[in-house]
């Protein structure tokens, strides 16, 4: 796609250091920058080779120097947008940065909308939609692991996988369509039977990919970890100890943590979102009851539960009730306050934990926290989350398209089972192909594209 306008924006975050970059992209990008840039070299940018750096100054219409700059010249098509791109690295801080941008706009560039550079890259076929989303994920990545997942996707792991599935489908579709067009081609045997195994195998692969959606989401957004237990067992103390800061208020009045406190924790690059819930307890106190409801909600939403127990006092019935509610969850039992005289030992607790791990700690004395962190990391290993090995589905939009593709293939399998004619199969195969295409953004509606790019910040 060729645009006849040239866009420009500040592409670095505002207010960070003295250096900022102005990105200019489009047909007239080079000519526009030539008009405001006085380089040390005799050659204009137009005359210079692509992918070179030029030192000089940006001057205004009176010929006055605005800023000392380095200009990166990148000629189409080997650029991010596949258009001519010039990046001006300014050194003078926010005021000259704005002034340089104004000069570029005065010479005919238009201020870019949010995400417009990425949108051009997408519409010019430089990247696909899964990669667009990866760029957003990279900007928002919580930890190194989240980042590496996003980078994988940007490199096209998912896109490549989807293309392979589409290729397989196209071959099946082509053969089926031949049999529809030339029914005499093989009359004795219904042709579809040839493809049953191939379609099943493909559908199985799609289902496998779908299974990565939950882990993909966890890596992207953080593993939701609920810290639960009776009031006063040390939930807030543990949260603070893990975060090494005073995020939650620690008190010895039972039930003080009334709201859920949320915080990010990075364990060797693995992202966790910790949720400190109010003590789970049947209660008449209305304020506390709201908190109790919230903590049940957070258990439900949690990927991982840290069930905290005070080792210095006996288990009560309510605690046993909570433990029973945790049956479908991955739980780490945390026996706290081991610095005190212990009433509950590991052996006693083991009778209730159904083989789930028990870690002994003192949140107050900061003992056992490393072991707990290792156990939390172990959760990731058990989930079979492998970073960088395979393509993963990492957001809801991709997931929904994949689910629809699987539904279409399920229908195909059913149709074959009941012996319907081939043309019925072909329609569903085409549908499956289309849904797969949506993952990488083939034939997407303009509104969806508009909505997506508006979520970017300016200059990207
Ligand atoms: P929460 O209600 O579960 O959030 O419990 P808090 O974190 O507010 O702690 C309740 C009380 O137990 C506070 O007085 C803490 O100082 C104390 N506490 C927490 N952890 C420990 C521990 O490991 N050892 C001892 N001795 N006291 C602790
Ligand atoms: Zn608390």
Structure tokens at 274: 């910790």
Residue 368's alpha-carbon distances to 57, 147, 230, 311, 313, in angstroms, are 58, 29, 20, 14, 19
| pLDDT of 249 higher than 70 | no
Q: Tell me, yes or no, whether 58 lies in a domain.
A: yes
Q: Tell me, yes or no, whether 447 lies in a domain.
A: no
| pLDDT of 72 higher than 50 | yes
**One domain, residues 357 and 321:** yes
Query: Do the annotations mark residue 4 as ligand-binding?
Result: no
Q: What is the pLDDT of residues 429-454, one digit of tens each?
A: 889 998 998 888 766 555 555 666 66
- Check: pTM over 0.90? Answer yes or no: no
State the helix-helix crossing angle for 446-454 and 129-140, rounded to 10 degrees.
20
Query: Do the annotations mark residue 23 as ligand-binding?
Result: yes
Cβ(232) – ligand 1 distance below 6 Å: yes
Q: What is the pLDDT of residues 126-182, one digit of tens each?
A: 888 788 788 877 777 777 777 777 777 787 888 888 989 998 988 888 777 766 666
**One domain, residues 120 and 235:** no
Q: What is the pLDDT of residues 297-336, one digit of tens each?
A: 778 888 899 999 999 999 988 788 888 878 888 999 999 9
| pLDDT of 368 higher than 90 | yes
Residue 17's alpha-carbon distances to 91, 97, 114, 234, 457, in angstroms, are 9, 12, 22, 41, 19
Query: Do the annotations mark residue 235 as ligand-binding?
Result: yes
Q: Tell me, yes or no, whether 117 lies in a domain.
A: yes
Q: Decide which of 102, 127, 152 is a domain's last residue.
A: 127
Instruction: For residue 20, give the CATH number of its domain.
Output: 3.30.1360.120
CA-based nearest residue to 289, from 202, 335, 231: 231
Q: Identify which has the larger pLDDT, 422 or 432.
A: 432
Residue nearest to atom 2 of ligand 1 (CA): 232
Q: What is the pLDDT of residues 21-44, one digit of tens each?
A: 999 999 999 999 999 999 988 899
| pLDDT of 364 higher than 90 | yes
**One domain, residues 281 and 296:** yes
Residues 134-170 as b/e (b if ≥16 CB within 10 A, e otherwise) read bbbbbeebbbebbbbbbebbbebbbbebbeebbebbe
Q: Tell me, yes or no, whether 35 lies in a domain.
A: yes
Helix (H) or strand (E) holding 162: helix 157-181
User: What's phi and psi for 431, nearest 5 deg?
Assistant: -60, -45
Q: Tell me, yes or no, whether 368 lies in a domain.
A: yes
Q: Decide which of 127, 144, 171 is a domain's last residue.
A: 127
Q: What is the pLDDT of residues 264-297, one digit of tens each?
A: 788 887 888 888 765 444 444 544 454 456 567 7
Q: Tell me, yes or no, whether 455 lies in a domain.
A: no
Q: What angle do CA 280, 320, 373 make, to 5 degrees?
A: 70
Cβ(236) – ligand 1 distance below 6 Å: yes
pLDDT of residue 157: 82
| pLDDT of 255 higher than 70 | no
User: What's phi and psi for 267, nearest 5 deg?
Assistant: -110, 105
pLDDT of residue 97: 87
Q: Tell me, yes or no, whether 453 lies in a domain.
A: no
**Ligand showing the shortest atom-to-Cα distance for residue 252:** 1
Cβ(255) – ligand 1 distance below 6 Å: no
Q: Identify which has the larger pLDDT, 13 or 303.
A: 303
Percentage of the chain exceeding pLDDT 70: 81
- Number of compact structural domains in the chain: 3
Query: Do the annotations mark residue 38 as ligand-binding?
Result: no
Cβ(369) – ligand 1 distance below 6 Å: no
**One domain, residues 234 and 361:** yes
Instruction: For residue 143, give the CATH number of its domain.
Output: 1.20.120.430
**One domain, residues 359 and 240:** yes
Closest atom of ligand 1 to 238 CA is 7
Cβ(234) – ligand 1 distance below 6 Å: yes
Q: Identify which has the larger pLDDT, 260 or 104.
A: 104
| pLDDT of 19 higher than 80 | no
Helix (H) or strand (E) holding 55: strand 52-59
The domain in which residue 418 lies consists of 134-212+392-440
Rounded Cα distance between 436 and 134, Å, is: 17
pLDDT of residue 382: 75
Q: Decide which of 95, 127, 159 is a domain's last residue.
A: 127
| pLDDT of 15 higher than 50 | yes
Q: Tell me, yes or no, whether 458 lies in a domain.
A: no
pLDDT of residue 444: 53
Q: What is the pLDDT of residues 342-361, one digit of tens each?
A: 899 999 999 988 889 999 99
**One domain, residues 405 and 356:** no
**Ligand showing the shortest atom-to-Cα distance for residue 234:** 1
Closest atom of ligand 1 to 336 CA is 23
| Ligand 2 centroid from CA 423, angstroms | 63
């Amino acid at each position: 796609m060729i645009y006849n306008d040239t866009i420009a924006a500040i592409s670095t975050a505002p207010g960070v250091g003295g250096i900022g970059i102005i990105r200019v992209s489009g047909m007239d990008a080079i000519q526009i920058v030539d008009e405001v840039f006085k380089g040390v070299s005799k050659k204009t940018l137009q005359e210079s080779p692509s992918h070179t750096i030029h030192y000089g100054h940006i001057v205004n219409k009176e010929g006055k120097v605005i800023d000392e700059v380095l200009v990166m010249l990148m000629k189409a098509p080997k650029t991010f947008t596949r258009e001519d791109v010039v990046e001006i690295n300014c050194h003078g801080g926010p005021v000259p940065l704005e002034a340089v941008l104004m000069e570029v706009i005065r010479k005919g560039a238009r201020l870019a909308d949010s995400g417009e550079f990425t949108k051009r890259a997408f519409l010019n076929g430089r990247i696909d939609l899964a990669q667009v989303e990866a760029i957003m994920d990279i900007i928002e990545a919580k930890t190194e692991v989240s980042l590496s997942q996003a980078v994988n996707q940007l490199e096209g792991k998912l896109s490549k996988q989807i293309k392979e599935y589409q290729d397989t489908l196209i071959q099946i579709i082509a053969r089926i369509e031949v049999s529809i067009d030339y029914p005499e081609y093989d009359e004795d045997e219904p042709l579809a039977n040839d493809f049953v195994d191939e379609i099943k195998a493909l559908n199985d692969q799609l289902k496998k990919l779908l299974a990565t959606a939950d882990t993909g989401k966890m890596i992207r957004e953080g593993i939701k970890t609920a810290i639960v237990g009776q009031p006063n067992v040390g939930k807030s103390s543990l949260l603070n100890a893990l975060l090494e800061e005073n995020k939650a208020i620690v008190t010895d009045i039972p039930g003080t943590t009334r709201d859920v406190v949320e915080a990010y924790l990075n364990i060797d690059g693995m992202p966790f979102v910790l949720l400190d819930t109010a003590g789970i307890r049947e209660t008449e106190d209305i304020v506390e009851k709201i908190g109790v409801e919230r903590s049940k909600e957070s258990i439900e939403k949690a990927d991982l539960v840290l069930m905290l127990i005070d080792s210095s006092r006996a288990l009560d019935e309510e605690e046993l009730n909570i433990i029973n509610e945790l049956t479908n969850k991955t739980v780490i039992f945390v026996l706290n306050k081991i610095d005190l005289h212990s009433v509950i030992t590991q052996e006693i607790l083991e009778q209730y934990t159904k083989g789930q791990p028990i870690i002994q700690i003192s949140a107050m004395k900061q003992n056992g926290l490393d072991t707990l962190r290792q156990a939390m990391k172990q959760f990731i290993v058990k989930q079979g989350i492998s970073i960088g090995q395979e393509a993963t589905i990492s957001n809801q939009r991709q997931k929904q398209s994949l689910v629809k593709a699987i539904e279409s293939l399920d229908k195909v399998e059913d149709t074959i089972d009941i012996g319907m004619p081939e043309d019925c199969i072909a329609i569903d195969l085409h549908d499956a192909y289309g849904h797969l295409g949506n993952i990488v953004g083939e034939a997407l509606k303009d509104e969806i594209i508009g909505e997506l790019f508006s979520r970017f910040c300016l200059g990207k």
